[in-house]
Structure 1
């Protein structure tokens, strides 16, 4: 590899990492306009393994907005990112795939204002398919594979010490 190719690869890796981070921030901050901008026009998202829908970025943004509104605090932690460029699969290098694990703690709205522990935590793996566009890297497909979840049971005020 030449230094120019190596530098381009590093720049692509940084841009893709930033895009995945923007994805997490858009969901956690309920920035549904930004969320949709992260996708190609034909981008698709599949949340069926977590009890959700499969649809376009606009459809999924609406579904997420409705379903995540019950949580006052959301924090998607996307880790262990494994990136593969399409050039490794003998295409023109304008595609990439990222597999990344996630942990998503959330706290319900309307609960104890002093509480800091999450009421709901889930984890699994994201599969991101990306395409290089005129506007930079964009998500073409996202598949969520939820592997586990834990829901904290509400405390019973009648239980004594």
Structure 2
């Protein structure tokens, strides 16, 4: 059951983002989350609160007409109250001018079991390919 709950938590991150259900993202994140998008943006990983993540994503992803994040090929490793879920992804970002930017790669999610269920405490996105311009 834990394996399915871990996968569901990761899937809900993508779903709530694509549906613009920003407040629902608080249901998937731990109190502090380390985000590593350095393969795409350079820089350093950042440790943020859910409110900071939501604000940033709402600003950045909300500028697109629509987004669609697909996750698949989930591999879950459980170790007591922690878990790692790796998944392949393809993310399409539809721009206001009807052009799109699509990228693919892998996600690594670090999760912690809380009284409220599994929560994401770390995300590493590794971009492998892209098509179009961000």
Q: Normalising by the residue count of structure 2, what TM-score does the alignment of the two structures yield?
A: 0.87
Distance 1:49 1:59 in 2: 20
Q: Bigger radius of gyration, 1 or 2? A: 1
Matched, 1:103 2:95: no
Flag structure 2 segments of 5+ consecutive residues without an equivalent: none
Distance 1:43 1:31 in 2: 19
Flag structure 1 segments of 5+ consecutive residues without an equivalent: 1-10, 87-92, 113-117, 153-161
- Aligned structure 1 segments of 4 or more residues deviating by more than 3 angstroms: none
Measured on the aligned residues, the alpha-carbon RMSD in Å equals: 1.8
Residues matched between the structures, number: 130
**Could you tell me how far 1:85 is from its partner in structure 2?**
0.7
**Could you tell me how far 1:72 is from its partner in structure 2?**
1.0
Aligned to 1:45: 35
Q: Normalising by the residue count of structure 1, what TM-score does the alignment of the two structures yield?
A: 0.73
Greater relative contact order: 1 or 2 (C-alpha under 8 angstroms, separation 6 or more)? 2
Aligned to 2:20: 30
Which structure has more strand as a fraction of its residues? 2
Question: 5 Å matches for 1:2-81?
Answer: 11-51=1-41, 54-56=46-48, 57-81=50-74
Distance 1:46 1:139 in 2: 13
